[in-house]
Each structure stands twice: as C-alpha cells, then as structure tokens.
Chains A and B, each alone.
Chain A
Amino acid sequence: MPRTVRDVVFVDGVRTPFGKAGPKGIYHETRADDLVVKAIRELLRRNPGLDPKKVDEVAIAATTQIGDQGLTLGRTAGILAGLPQSVPGYSIDRMCAGALTAVTTTAGSIAFGAYDAVIAGGVEHMGRHPMGEGVDPNPRFVSEKLVDESALFMGMTAENLHDRYPTITKRRADEYAVRSQEKAAKAYANGKIQQDLVPISVRRTAAVDSGSAAGSAGETGWGLVTADEPMRPGTTLENLSGLKTPFRVHGRVTAGNAAGLNDGATASIIASEDFARENDLPVKMRLVSYAFAGVEPEVMGYGPIPATEKALAKAGLSIEDINLFEINEAFAVQVLAFLEHYGIADDDARVNQYGGAIAFGHPLASSGVRLMTQLARQFEEQPHVRYGLTTMCVGFGMGATVIWENPHFDGGNK
C-alpha cells in the first residue's frame, strides 16, 4: 500500500488562565481534570466545523499522573468533555514538554495517516500535585553517579547553567525577567492573550488568611477566573535585585527570574491540512519539523539548543530562517543561554513577543501548547514571517523544539 506523508497543521489552541499553586491560588479547590475538560470544551465550541465524532485521539499530558491527573487522563477527559464514547484517548508524560509531545506524537501519526484530527493538550495542577510527588528515583542514579545530585532540582540545574555561561549574570537574567513582565502586560493591554483564554469558575469555601492585599482572594463562594494570576506588571530591577537565591548561596536564580509553581491546562486541535481545509477549520500553523534531544540532566536548561539544531537540520533550515521564537521561560538563564548560543540579542524583538512563562506561569505539562497558541497569533499578525519555532527545556536533561511555517506568509512583502 503506497503511503503519502501528509501536511499537519495547528488548527487552534486555547488555555485556562494560569494560577498560582498553593492554598491562596485561584485553583486551590479546582480539580486538574476539570481544567483540561473545560479547555477541550471551549476548543470544540470555537470550532463547530470539527464534528466531535471525527476526533481520532485525545492526547493529554501531565507530569504527575496520579489522582485527578491519573486514570488515563486523555480518555477520561474526553468522556467528561462530552466527546462521543467512540473517541479514544491516552496520557503523555515528558514533564515540561508534555503538551508539546502530545502535539508532536499525534502529528506524527497524522502524517503517517493514522489520524485525521486530534485534540492534544496538557494540564498540571502543581498545587494538588507538587513537583516530585510520589517519585522514587532508582538509587543507581546516585551510586553509579549516572547523574549529578542536582539533576532533580530544577533551580539547581539553572544555577549550573549560569556556571556554563559565565557571561549570563544575575543582572542580565533580572533584566530579561523585567522585560517579560512588561511584554506580557502590554500583550494583555492589547487583548492578545485573553482571546485564547477559557473562563473558569472557581470555588473557595474558606477565606484564606492572607497578609497580602491580594484583592478578592479572600472572598468565599463561586468566582470566575478570566486572567492569569501570576502576572506582576510593573516589576522593576530593584524589586528583583533583593530577592533570595534559594538554590545556592550567592546564586543567581530567584523567584523573580524564573517561572513559578502554577496550575493550568491547555488544549489544541491538530489535523492534517487536507482535513482542516475540507472541514473549514482554520489553519493557523503548518508543522515543518520537530526534534527532541538529551543533555546532561544537571544542565537541563541547555536542552533547547541541541533540540533546535536537530529540528533545523531535519527541516533543512538555518537559525537565520526563523523570525519568531516562542521559548518557554522556565528560567531566564535558559532563554539567555539559547540566545547567546545563536548570537541573538537578549531583547531581540522576534523572541517571546507577548512575554513568557516568567510572567504567565508554567504549569509544567501544559505549557507547550501555550507557546504554540501565542506563536499562531503572531503568525496571523505578521504575514511577512515564514518560519517560527517553539522550544522548551525538559527536566532530567532534555530539550524539545518544533518548527512551524506561517500559512499566512505573504512572500516577505511587507
């Protein structure tokens, strides 16, 4: 039987507003599965052209797959979202790159011809499932020195990355973080973010005894979340300079130049281009290539560099061909290492135009689709750009990169 590889496109993506993990967070009393279910439902409402019966797969990522993130979330979330029982689903884990991997794995199957259209996304409720919950690392990691002891502590790996790039100082990281907050605030003011957010109803049964003037955080009863909770618009270098460096004495990584601990979910529709066109679905991005790469776990933030190298090579492109970058900001140093490697300026206008995870938050396995949703919006606005990429670092020493083509590309005539 002859096979033809098919073009795969990103049809649409949405996400819940991201929350801060912990008892004061907006989602403290909200289940993780409900978050991703509501994202899937919004996605289906926004795309009435997609007959739910024609969804071939629901791939949902979560890092901690227990409790309300367990039970083969892709399957259960599909049923809870009201998809027909004939639609299958499964769960995916590649830590921070979970949703990204949900997209690439199903995209590969679409290209192969196994699926026409899928839902791919991720969720992480780090309040209900703190990082490292229930892990049981094999003692050989330490006894045989397979990895450095810092490999399991992401903040320590970020400090290690600062060591590898001595020119990336704490000040540069803080400056980057301030810009991320500024860009995010601006994107909000221009309505760039809200258009892809799903409002989430949230309940609070007990008032939180909070010293902070966190606005309505103390009110009990049902509320509605329509914006990201972690944002700190107006952050200055001075605010950041005094923050503690919890991962190393006299270190460089702080809560201000890293993403926080967050709750949130994302979902996207990925389809073959033919299917999308036949069903009048939007075509927001066309998949060019993707790649994953492993690095020493103790400098996991280095991962995006070799992953991008591989993805570029597979696409036959060079870094100069890429004119929009959505880089997950797990740590400012990890973005800066990438930029330094490719000789791109810290404040290059092509990078994270709407700000990044330092401002919005990073609910681990959900973030990949957030990057894609934002890149898709930027493609729409900037038809002179042909190629963009989404990339992220992954715990235990990996990187993940997807290269996308802009279907609105006008040939470069501004």
Chain B
Amino acid sequence: MSTTAELLKGAAELFPDEVVTSAHVRHLDLPYGAGRFALITLDNGFDHTKPTTFGPASLANLNTAIDQVEQEAAAGEIVGVGVTGKPFIFAVGADLKGVELLKEHEHALAIGKGGHEVFKRLAALAVPTFAYYNGAAMGGGVEVGLHCSYRTVSKALPAFSLPEVFLGLVPGWGGCTLLPNLIGADKAVTVIVENSLNQNKQLGGQQVFELGIADAIFEGADFLEQSLIWTANVLKGDVEVERPVIDRGEAWDQAVARGRFIADGKVHGAAPAAYRALDIIAAAKNGDLQQGYDAEDVALADLIMGGELRAGIYAFNLVQKRGKRPAGAPDKNLARPVTKVGVVGAGLMASQLALLFLRRLEVPVVLTDIDQERVDKGVGYVHAEIDKLLGKGRINQDKANRLKALVTGVLDKAEGFADADFVIEAVFEEIGVKQQVFAEVEAVAPAHAILATNTSSLSVTEMASKLKNPERVVGFHFFNPVAILPLLEIVRGEATDDASLATAFAVAKKLKKTAVLVKDAPAFVVNRILTRFMGEIQNVIDEGTPVDVAEKAVEPLGLPMSPLVLLELVGPAIGLHVSETLNGAFPDRFKVSPNLKAVVEAGKRGFYVYSAENGFKPELDPEVAALLKQGDVVLTEEQVRARVLDAVAQEIRLMLDEGVVAEAQDIDLCLITGAGWPFHLGGITPYLDREGVSERVNGKKFLEPGVASVPA
C-alpha cells in the first residue's frame, strides 16, 4: 500500500458518512485506429441532483484507478487516459461535510496532500491524459482536469468555478498553481478571486474555452463522442494544440495587484482566503509546481482550521438548505392557490411588488390607489420595466404582451379585489392608515383572501385586530431593492392561522425569495439588528467620537458598506422612523438620536457628499457637520467596535429569548440574505462567538461548537 493510500485511509476513518465516488475504468478503441484508451468515469451512483464530490474514500478510488492505468500505460497497453463524469456532472469538488468534521491541523494538511498526491499522478502517467468537462465542474473537479495534459469542455456545461475563496478556502488541489500557469495570472485571478467574490459567479462552457482552460469545445449532444474523436486526432498528430505564451513579467504582478484591489473592495481584509490564494498565485510566477502545491497544502490547512471557513460553510448551508426549507413553516399542503393578486398603493414600493408578483406568479395583478394619476403611474412603471426586460432580451414579445395584459390599475377596490386571493398593502407606515386599508379590503375581497402587509416595523397583530377575519393577515416584509435582496420576513400575527401562513410561504417560494418565519415583534429581525447596530454607531458619534473613527471601527468586519453609507441607502427618514418605533418598544436600548433627527429635519439624504475630484469617495457633508451636536467622550476604534458588537450580541440574545425566530441560524440567514452580511462572518453569530463577544455579553455562545466553528 502506497503512502498516499495510507494517508487517505486515515482520512476516510474520520469521515464514515462520505458519499463515495467511484472511478470506473473502461477501455475503448479510439476512432481512426488511434489505439486503446482508458476512460475513467467519476460517478457517485446518484443522479445529477446529487453531484459527484471528493472525500477521502473517493480520492482513494481514483488512486486505485490510476494504479491500474499507470501499469497499463507503462506496459504500452493504452495510448492515453481520459477522465469524465456522470451525465450533467463532471465533479463538484471536495465534500464539504468531510471538511467540517476536521479538528486537527495535521488532518487538514492530509486532505490537501491527499488530493495533490492523487491528482499529480495523472500528470505523471507515461501517456497523455485528457479531461472531458461534460457537466458541472467546481473546485476539486476543475482541478482534476487541470492536472491532465488536455481538456475539452461541453458547450452545454452550465456551471464551472473555483468557488473556494467564496467559501473561505483556496483552490488547494493544484488550482492556485496550475491555473495561472495555464491561462496566465490575470485570467486566473478572475476565476479564482474575482468570480468567487462576485457571489460565486459561474462560468459557462463557452467561457471556459475562451479563457483557454479547455483546448476544445463541443456541443452537448455528442460531446463525449466528439471529445474522443478529437483525442484520437491529437494522439495521431492530426490536431495540434496551441496555447498562448504566458506573460511572466510585469503583467503577472499587475494581475495579483488587481486581485488584491478586488479583495479589498469586497472583504476589506476581513477574510483571509482571497489573500492566501493571491499569495500562491504570485509565487506561481516562477513555474515551480511542487513549491506551489506545498504552499496550497499549508494554506488549506490553515484555512480549514480557521473560523472564516467554518462560518463560510455554515453560511453556504444556511442559504442552500435552510433558506429552501424554512424552519417552522406549516405543512405546505395547507396552502391555498393564488390566482389573482391585489396591491394596495401604487407608489414605487407597491409598483416593485406588483412587478415581482407579475413576473413570478404570472397571474392578474391589480393596483389600486387614491387617484387615477397614481394608479396610471404605477401601471406605467410596471409596463416600463417589462419593456426594459424585453429590450435586454430577458423575455420575448409574447411574454411581454402576456405580462402587460395581466397588470391593471383601478380606483375601486371592490372592482379590483372581488376575486383576489392575495392582497398586499404598501401604503404609508402608520397603523391607523393600515387598519383602515385592511378594513376596506376585507369588505370587498373574498373571505379566504390573504391580507399581507409589507410593513417594516408595525405590529401585524394590531393591524389585524379590527378585522372580522384576522386569521388571514400575515406580514410579508421585503427588502430594498426588492428584485435583488432575497430575504422575505414572513410574520405570523397572534391570530394568523396555519393555512394563511402556508399560503404565504408557498407564494414566497414562487417569488423565489428566502422566507424566514418571524414572530410579530417590533421591527422583526433585520431592521431591529441593523437599527441597534447603527444606533450604537450613532450613539458614540452623538457622545463625541468623530464620524470617521466610528465608521472605521467596524471596517474589520468586512461589511458590504459602512453604517452611514447604509443609512443613506435606506434613507435617513426611514432609519429615524424605525428607531422611533423601536424606541417606543425598548426605550432602554434604542435611542432616538437628536443628530439624526436634525439631519432628517434639514431634508438631508445622508451624511456624505461625493465629488468627482475626490473619486466619488464619501466625504462628510459640511452642512451635516454643522448640524452635529456632539459630546466630549472620544472613543478609539477598538472601543467603538466593542460597544457596537456588544450591543448586537445583546440584542440577538434577547430576540432569541423572546422567540422572534426559531434559532440563531435564522438570524444569520436574515442578515446574509436581507442585509448582505458576509459569509466569512457567517451572518454574525459565528463571528460574535469566535471573537468572544457572545460569552462576554451573554455568558454563552450562540452556536454549539462545530456548527460554524472547528468541532471540539
């Protein structure tokens, strides 16, 4: 038994539940008499809904397959070796479940080494090797192919990526080293860093070919046949593979610098993975592969034992799994069909909601408002957005005609809502107004119709309290911009029944939103946490800390934007309104900042001004600066950060104790999908746990060890 086999056997014992991938070796005669060929098929025995992955036992299977073809190659029995996947899937990389289980640095190191040892053998065979990227290829799947002499790719391949940096790892089975040596550092930075940090952007087959990762591209219908014919031609010398010469000069360093600029823009130095990957890419300039592999091993092991990766995997699983099966949602069979939607209000938010319902549900959508002009404007907005989609080629003329015909606007609610199954209101945030609107709707809509409110902070229970059928009222809280942020907080009022709630979840699923069940508590989840977070920033500014110190204090978290830039996006008036609501509910923790009030009263849209001379960087608006009345307590960045994080940890604990959501996981899912908080924080509770904030404030962690951290 080779040392590689021993290494993998040890690793496999740590991971008894691995879904094991087989590496089938089958022999075939290449066309044109090009000779006997061994084709390795990677296949975990399931259909495409369970993609092929590599855990230690899977790597051991590939190792055994290579034992066989190595002998055959050495004996001259075969002229080449190919690697391909089961239908629709090539291989999607390391099995993350196995990575989560690792507790020791040395075991993590073994995973990196194990992959390298096996994959390297492909490159060392006595015959040329070919990877046929037939379907989805990610991470270690991509890397298996990079170790081969040649690659082909299917035009039908939908997803190809090195997503490691996105999760908090580096492409550590040769990716960081081989890819820049194959296609140059700049393109490698695009694939490894830029795409990963751009919400894990996937490449299609055509792009894989154009980047030079694959040497040939064939259509999906007979991809493998054409790949094997091409292989025969390459082996016979009838096709010569030409690859551009890699620029190993200045361009290489510039590419790495570009990568660092991208990483800084996205994670602000707060997550190490991108930087570790860039270090390896930088070092790969000298073409020394083994040196690169060794560096990959170390980087992988360090990152696997670090909190950012664990938080990243946790966040990934929240979005992929919990986001699709909302905790606490009632039986989906209780849901009623929704064949017509009413929208009360025809303002911008209401129009955006109308567009979303229209596109996803493709049922009639009726807008109402208080005068014809507003109604026309709302319908006009929807029509204009449909035309934009048509112009971009996202929908065809038939679909545009269909959607436009489905949206109407009327003044008379009775006419609009008499046969609606779901009516959502997006009128002024004032409880009396909302109660009035629901009373009017109830008078004309069918008894089964769901009455949904897009309120961001008012009580759903109170809103329903004066209705005959309060059980059909649900909160349906979207996040701006509605088309982009996936989160939908679904609020259960005290009277809301299971059928109404199930219908709300069913609609959310059709809207392709990430639904989270929330108790009817002030400002629900995201706004409550963000308001506490920004409130604490505002507090320290009010007390005397300079604005720039307060802003910089939270930079190490790597949030998508600074607190005051976020306030600008939300709108200071709305921010103030939510803080007033929360102040009413929890006056000891939520203050209404006099400075914020002054800014709003002055009609300011934000704290900053932007100018071309200064590269559109935010600068404190001198008019705002003049409004600020600050105290004399000046804190350091560290002190501010501690204040803010302590406040957030306290608030989340209180929310969990109140039962606002089922678990801390839901809080994190909300922050990731509703506020764009990053994977490397795992939302926020994994970060608060690993930084010791949770224990400092609440005396305990939010999550069990191993959930989003290295297991005990």
A and B associate in one complex:
yes
Chain A residues at the B interface, C-beta cutoff of 8 Å: 37-38, 41-42, 80-82, 198-201, 203-205, 216, 219-224, 226-227
Give the complex CA separation of A82 and B226 in angstroms: 15
Are A220 and B29 neighbours in the complex by a CB distance under 8 Å?
A: no
Give the complex CA separation of A200 and B28 in angstroms: 11
Are B31 and A199 neighbours in the complex by a CB distance under 8 Å?
A: yes
Contact partner, A224, options B30, B40, B219, Cβ 8 Å: B30
Contact partner, A223, options B22, B26, B31, B87, Cβ 8 Å: B26
Give the complex CA separation of A85 and B13 in angstroms: 54
A-B contact pairs, 12 of them (CB 8 A): A42-B222, A81-B221, A82-B219, A82-B221, A205-B45, A219-B24, A219-B27, A223-B26, A223-B27, A224-B28, A224-B228, A227-B29
Please provide the chain B residues from 43 to 74 with a CB less than 8 Å away from any CB of chain A in the complex: 43, 45
Give the complex CA separation of A83 and B319 in angstroms: 39
Give the complex CA separation of A204 and B30 in angstroms: 18
Are B40 and A38 neighbours in the complex by a CB distance under 8 Å?
A: no
Contact partner, A222, options B26, B30, B222, Cβ 8 Å: B26
Q: Which residues of B contact A223 (CB under 8 A)?
A: 26-28, 39
Q: Mark B3-32, 1 if CB is under 8 A from A, else 0.
A: 000000000000000000010111111110
B41 at the interface (CB under 8 A from A): yes
Q: Which residue of B lies closest to A215 (CB)?
A: B27
Are A222 and B39 neighbours in the complex by a CB distance under 8 Å?
A: yes
Contact partner, B224, options A204, A216, A222, Cβ 8 Å: A222
Q: Which residue of A lies closest to B39 (CB)?
A: A222
What's the least CB distance linking B505 to chain A, in Å?
36
Give the complex CA separation of A220 and B31 in angstroms: 20
Of A80, A205, A221, A226, most buried by chain B (CB within 10 Å of CB) is A221
Are B221 and A216 neighbours in the complex by a CB distance under 8 Å?
A: no
Q: Mark B211-231, 1 if CB is under 8 A from A, else 0.
A: 000000001011011001100
Of A42, A205, A222, most buried by chain B (CB within 10 Å of CB) is A222
Are B225 and A224 neighbours in the complex by a CB distance under 8 Å?
A: yes
Give the complex CA separation of A198 and B27 in angstroms: 18
Give the complex CA separation of A42 and B30 in angstroms: 17
B84 at the interface (CB under 8 A from A): yes
Are B25 and A219 neighbours in the complex by a CB distance under 8 Å?
A: yes
| Interface residues in B, total, Cβ within 8 A | 24
If the complex has contacts A38-B222, A38-B225, A201-B222, are A219 and B26 also in contact, measured as CB distance less than 8 A? yes
If the complex has contacts A222-B26, A224-B29, are A199 and B45 also in contact, measured as CB distance less than 8 A? no
Q: Which residues of A contact B26 (CB under 8 A)?
A: 204, 216, 219-223
Q: Which residue of A lies closest to B41 (CB)?
A: A221
Are B84 and A199 neighbours in the complex by a CB distance under 8 Å?
A: no
Since A37-B221, A205-B43 are in contact, a sample of 11 more A-B pairs with Cβ atoms closer than 8 Å, ordered by chain A residue number, is A38-B221, A38-B225, A41-B221, A42-B222, A201-B224, A203-B87, A219-B25, A220-B24, A222-B26, A222-B84, A223-B39
Q: Which residues of B contact A82 (CB under 8 A)?
A: 219, 221
Q: Which residue of B lies closest to A220 (CB)?
A: B24
Q: Which residues of A contact B87 (CB under 8 A)?
A: 203
If the complex has contacts A219-B24, A223-B26, A224-B29, are A200 and B225 also in contact, measured as CB distance less than 8 A? yes
Are B41 and A201 neighbours in the complex by a CB distance under 8 Å?
A: no
Q: Which residues of A contact B24 (CB under 8 A)?
A: 219-222
Q: Which residues of A contact B27 (CB under 8 A)?
A: 216, 219, 223
Give the complex CA separation of A63 and B114 in angstroms: 53
Give the complex CA separation of A244 and B87 in angstroms: 41
What's the least CB distance linking B87 to chain A, in Å?
8
Give the complex CA separation of A248 and B155 in angstroms: 54
Give the complex CA separation of A203 and B224 in angstroms: 11
Give the complex CA separation of A227 and B33 in angstroms: 12
Of B22, B26, B43, most buried by chain A (CB within 10 Å of CB) is B26
Contact partner, A41, options B22, B30, B222, Cβ 8 Å: B222
Contact partner, B39, options A199, A221, A227, Cβ 8 Å: A221
Q: Which residues of A contact B219 (CB under 8 A)?
A: 82
Please provide the chain B residues from 67 to 88 with a CB less than 8 Å away from any CB of chain A in the complex: 84, 86-87
Top 10 A-B pairs, shortest CB-CB distance: A221-B24, A221-B41, A201-B224, A221-B26, A219-B26, A224-B28, A220-B24, A223-B26, A223-B28, A222-B41
Give the complex CA separation of A373 and B133 in angstroms: 34
Q: Which residue of B lies closest to A37 (CB)?
A: B221
Give the complex CA separation of A205 and B24 in angstroms: 9
Give the complex CA separation of A227 and B86 in angstroms: 23
Q: Which residues of B contact A42 (CB under 8 A)?
A: 222
Are A226 and B29 neighbours in the complex by a CB distance under 8 Å?
A: yes
Contact partner, B229, options A199, A203, A221, Cβ 8 Å: A199
Contact partner, A80, options B43, B221, B229, Cβ 8 Å: B221
Give the complex CA separation of A41 and B226 in angstroms: 11
Give the complex CA separation of A197 and B22 in angstroms: 31
Q: Which residues of B contact A201 (CB under 8 A)?
A: 222, 224-225, 228
What's the least CB distance linking A89 to chain B, in Å?
16
What's the least CB distance linking A15 to chain B, in Å?
14
Please provide the chain B residues from 358 to 378 with a CB less than 8 Å away from any CB of chain A in the complex: none
Q: Which residues of B contact A226 (CB under 8 A)?
A: 28-29, 31
Give the complex CA separation of A219 and B39 in angstroms: 11
Give the complex CA separation of A122 and B190 in angstroms: 47
Q: Which residues of A contact B40 (CB under 8 A)?
A: 221
Q: Which residues of B contact A37 (CB under 8 A)?
A: 221
What's the least CB distance linking A82 to chain B, in Å?
6
Q: Which residues of B contact A224 (CB under 8 A)?
A: 28-31, 39, 224-225, 228
Give the complex CA separation of A220 and B29 in angstroms: 15
Q: Which residues of A contact B224 (CB under 8 A)?
A: 201, 222, 224
If the complex has contacts A82-B219, A199-B31, A204-B26, are A221 and B43 also in contact, measured as CB distance less than 8 A? yes
Give the complex CA separation of A18 and B153 in angstroms: 28
Give the complex CA separation of A200 and B228 in angstroms: 10
What's the least CB distance linking B205 to chain A, in Å?
15
Q: Which residue of A lies closest to B24 (CB)?
A: A221
Q: Which residue of B lies closest to A222 (CB)?
A: B41
Q: Which residue of B lies closest to A219 (CB)?
A: B26
Of B24, B40, B87, B222, most buried by chain A (CB within 10 Å of CB) is B222
Are A220 and B221 neighbours in the complex by a CB distance under 8 Å?
A: no
Are A199 and B221 neighbours in the complex by a CB distance under 8 Å?
A: no
Q: Which residues of A contact B43 (CB under 8 A)?
A: 205, 221
What's the least CB distance linking A277 to chain B, in Å?
30
Q: Which residue of A lies closest to B42 (CB)?
A: A221
Q: Which residues of A contact B22 (CB under 8 A)?
A: 220
What's the least CB distance linking B223 to chain A, in Å?
8
What's the least CB distance linking B37 to chain A, in Å?
8
Q: Which residues of B contact A227 (CB under 8 A)?
A: 29
Q: Which residues of A contact B25 (CB under 8 A)?
A: 219, 221
Please provide the chain B residues from 479 to 524 with a CB less than 8 Å away from any CB of chain A in the complex: none
Q: Which residues of B contact A205 (CB under 8 A)?
A: 43, 45
Give the complex CA separation of A222 and B86 in angstroms: 8
Q: Which residue of A lies closest to B228 (CB)?
A: A224
Q: Which residues of A contact B39 (CB under 8 A)?
A: 221-224
Q: Which residues of B contact A220 (CB under 8 A)?
A: 22, 24, 26, 41
Give the complex CA separation of A198 and B225 in angstroms: 9
What's the least CB distance linking B295 to chain A, in Å?
34
Q: Which residues of B contact A203 (CB under 8 A)?
A: 41, 86-87
Please provide the chain B residues from 271 to 297 with a CB less than 8 Å away from any CB of chain A in the complex: none
Give the complex CA separation of A220 and B40 in angstroms: 9
What's the least CB distance linking B354 to chain A, in Å?
33
Give the complex CA separation of A31 and B99 in angstroms: 38
Please provide the chain B residues from 370 to 413 with a CB less than 8 Å away from any CB of chain A in the complex: none
Q: Which residue of B lies closest to A224 (CB)?
A: B28
Q: Which residues of A contact B45 (CB under 8 A)?
A: 205
Of A42, A201, A205, A224, most buried by chain B (CB within 10 Å of CB) is A224
Q: Which residues of B contact A222 (CB under 8 A)?
A: 24, 26, 39, 41, 84, 224
Q: Which residues of B contact A219 (CB under 8 A)?
A: 24-27
Give the complex CA separation of A203 and B45 in angstroms: 12
What's the least CB distance linking B227 to chain A, in Å?
9
Give the complex CA separation of A216 and B28 in angstroms: 8
Give the complex CA separation of A82 and B45 in angstroms: 30
Please provide the chain B residues from 188 to 239 with a CB less than 8 Å away from any CB of chain A in the complex: 219, 221-222, 224-225, 228-229
